[in-house]
Amino acid sequence: MTYCVAMNLAEGLVFVSDSRTNAGIDHIATFRKLYTFGTPGERVIVLQTAGNLATSQSIISLLRQRLFGSEPHLLNVPTLFEVARLVGQTVREVAQYDAESAKSGIDMSCSFLLGGQINGEPPALFNIYPQGNFIQATQDTPYFQIGESKYGKPILDRALKYDLNLEQALRGALVSFDSTIRSNLSVGMPLDVLVYRTDSLNIPKGVRIREDDPYFAEVRERWSQGLRQLLESMPTSPEHFLQ
Amino acid sequence: MTYCVAMNLAEGLVFVSDSRTNAGIDHIATFRKLYTFGTPGERVIVLQTAGNLATSQSIISLLRQRLFGSEPHLLNVPTLFEVARLVGQTVREVAQYDAESAKSGIDMSCSFLLGGQINGEPPALFNIYPQGNFIQATQDTPYFQIGESKYGKPILDRALKYDLNLEQALRGALVSFDSTIRSNLSVGMPLDVLVYRTDSLNIPKGVRIREDDPYFAEVRERWSQGLRQLLESMPTSPEHFLQ
């Protein structure tokens, strides 16, 4: 499995992905699930994937290969909505190509989060389904998750607001990953992080947070401790609850 | 869907179930998913169910009906392990009975948590699968969940230890339910709570926590507030994470 979160906030975009890929429980490997495309000063495109690795790699390869053709591609369509359509079409194309083998019962589907900005437009964030259609994040719901999303959802549902600054939002995302990694073997370190500031129009360097990262270790430790303290500080249950 | 948690701790057993049943999103009803059986002073048996309501109700009805026969039943078998086997057999019997209709593709399976104590044995807790086999909780893993378990798992993974007292454990369970209810429409109030003290050998009265319960409202409020404060108190991400 996989866990990816992306946020579209007042100040910009935040992306965090894990990097564990597994087929069964004994075939585990590290694969980056965060891809960037762009033209400095003109557009920044970030893609995150969850689902079948063969399928998502095929889609990314096709998207890359076509950057050098004359047909519409990620770097020449005029809006991010058109970029989402292109990705969705490519998702459908690969699903079609694999349709015969998918009848074997293996889940060959995959989904994408697509975020970025094209000069002249505000940043945007899309959740592209395995069927190739997609929805866009809004101020009411400024984040999307794909993959193993349930463990890390409660903290985002509570804490994530459109007007959080990027640093605060990133902290929320990291805590959400910590919860997921602790409870689910199929999501694992390292984490790939990318934070994009609105109107910077350059692909951020991003950072890979490894198992031994001292900042993440401190967040994990303090979060765990804080949660236990918070639970202890909850009011005592009424006597009749225990009878 | 459903969410049920049961814990087997040093001091006794804790059970919490939600009560929402839904078929699709517009057929929502309240059904109790917590059942008790017992003989005062001799045995206490608690069952919680998740999954297909028709199936789980059939199983409970058969278990009840047989209490008046001479065959082995919940109130005459000598150990809780044998009780778990009886429930597992009944799960298989109903699955067999419904096998033809289940071919239609509707999921007719259900699972059970079974906890309790029979005089002469320590309390025990079992997780009975839709296949009728089961596992038993231990001091290392003193709790089980069935149904929509993922949202509420991180807090239990962190906070629940075998030697927590029953009141603390109940608080942890309630927080786990709060997280689940906030993030998932298919889990809903009221909650049914039952706390059993080791060797009391009487069926506890238990309590139904309704939407307007002032204690649960306070826990929800303080937990939300505490989580947000905890997140704010996390150390600031290093500068290079944001570039």
Q: State yes or no: pLDDT of B138 exceeds 80.
A: yes
Confidence of residue A107 (pLDDT cuts 50, 70, 90): confident
State whether residue B215 sits within 8 Å of chain A by CB: yes
B221 close contact with A: CB closer than 8 A:
no
Asked if CATH classification 3.40.50.150 holds for the domain at B3-232, the reply, yes or no, is: no
Picking from A232, A235, A240, the nearest residue to B219 by CB comes out as A235
What's the mean pLDDT in B225-238?
93
State yes or no: ipTM above 0.90: no
- Selected for mutation to probe chain A from B36, B231, B236, B243 (highest A CB count within 10 Å) is B231
Q: What's the rounded Cα separation, in Å, for the pair A197 and A116?
A: 10
A172 and B CB contact within 8 Å: yes
| pLDDT at site B23 | 67
CATH among 3.30.1370.160, 3.60.150.10, 3.20.20.70, 3.60.20.10 for A3-234 = 3.60.20.10
Q: How far does chain B reach from its first CA to its final CA, in angstroms?
A: 42
CB contact under 8 A, A170 and B222: no
Give the separation between CA A242 and CA B219, rounded to whole angstroms: 16
Task: Report the mean per-residue pLDDT for chain B.
Answer: 93
Question: Which of A157, A167, A230 has its CB closest to that of B183?
Answer: A157
The nearest CA of chain A is from the CA of B70 a distance in Å of 33
Say yes or no: A92 contacts chain B, CB-CB below 8 A.
Answer: no
What confidence score (pLDDT) does residue B184 get? 86
The CA distance from B158 to B96, in Å, is 39
DSSP string, chain B: --EEEEEEETTEEEEEE--EEEETTTEEEE---EEEEEETTTEEEEEEEEE-HHHHHHHHHHHHHGGGSSS--TTTSSSHHHHHHHHHHHHHHHHHHTHHHHTTS----EEEEEEEEETTS--EEEEE-TTS-EEE--SSS-EEEEES-STTHHHHHHH--TTS-HHHHHHHHHHHHHHHHHH-TTS-S-EEEEEEETT--S----EEEPTT-HHHHHHHHHHHHHHHHHHHHSPPPPGGGG-
Mean pLDDT of A163-178: 95
The encoded tokens of residue A73 equal 């591609």
Residue A24 has pLDDT above 80, yes or no: no
Query: Which residue in A8, A56, A67 sits closest to A32, CA to CA?
Result: A56
Q: Taking residues B130-147, what's their average pLDDT?
A: 96
The answer to whether A224 contacts B158, with C-beta atoms less than 8 Å apart, is: yes
- Quick: pLDDT tens for B80-90: 999 999 999 99
Interface contacts (A, B; CB < 8 Å): 137
Mean pLDDT of A102-128: 93
- State whether B241 and A168 contact (CB < 8 Å): no
Q: Is B145 on the interface with A (CB under 8 A)?
A: no
Q: A154, B215: Cβ pair inside 8 Å?
A: no
Residue B102 pLDDT exceeds 90: no
Closest residue in B to A208 (Cα–Cα): B241
Q: What would the mean pLDDT of B125-145 be, rounded to a whole number? A: 96
Closest partner CB to B157 (pick from A155, A183, A242): A183
Q: Does the pLDDT of residue B165 top 90, yes or no?
A: yes
Average pLDDT on B129-139 reads 96
In this prediction, residue B230 has a pLDDT band, given cuts at 50, 70 and 90, of: very high
CA B47 to chain A, closest CA, distance in angstroms equals 17
Section B59-68 average pLDDT: 96
Mean pLDDT lowest for which of A95-99, A196-200, B140-144, B212-216?
A95-99
* Nearest residue of chain A to residue B148 (CA atoms): A150
Preceding amide of A235 cis, omega within 30:
no
Mean pLDDT value across residues A15-35? 84
Distance from CA of B17 to the nearest CA of A (A): 14
Distances, alpha carbon B17 to alpha carbons A170, B130, B156, B198, B207, in Å: 34, 18, 15, 20, 11
Smallest CA–CA distance from B193 into chain A, residue: A241
Partner B contacted by A4 (CB < 8 A): no
- B6-50 per-position pLDDT tens digit: 999 999 999 999 998 876 667 778 888 999 999 999 999 999 999
pLDDT of residue A30: 83
| pLDDT for res A105 | 79
**Residue A153: per-residue pLDDT:** 93
Burial (0-12, 13-18, 19+ Cβ within 10 Å), A142: buried
Predicted confidence (pLDDT) per residue in A180-213, tens digit:
998 888 888 899 999 999 999 999 999 999 999 9
Mean pLDDT computed over B94-118: 90
**Total Cβ atoms within 10 A of residue A232:** 10
The whole-chain average pLDDT of chain A stands at 93
Which of the residues A208, A222, A237 would you substitute to probe the B interface, choosing the one with the greatest number of B C-beta atoms within 10 Å?
Answer: A237
B-chain residues near A238 (CB < 8 A): 215
The arithmetic mean of pLDDT across residues A145-171, rounded, is 93
For position A95, what pLDDT does the model report?
Answer: 93
Query: Closest residue of A to B191, CA-based?
Result: A241
A224-233, A234-243, B122-131: range with highest mean pLDDT: B122-131
The pLDDT of residue B79: 97
pLDDT reported for residue B25: 67
In this complex, do B204 and A238 lie within 8 Å of one another by their Cβ atoms?
Answer: no
Contact assignment for B151 to A155 by CB distance below 8 Å: no
Query: What is the distance between the terminal CA atoms of chain A, rounded to a whole angstrom?
Result: 42
Task: Please tell me which residue of chain B has the smallest CA distance to A160.
Answer: B228
Listing from the earlier edge strand, what are the strands of the sheet with A124-128? Answer: A34-39, A43-51, A110-118, A124-128, A134-136
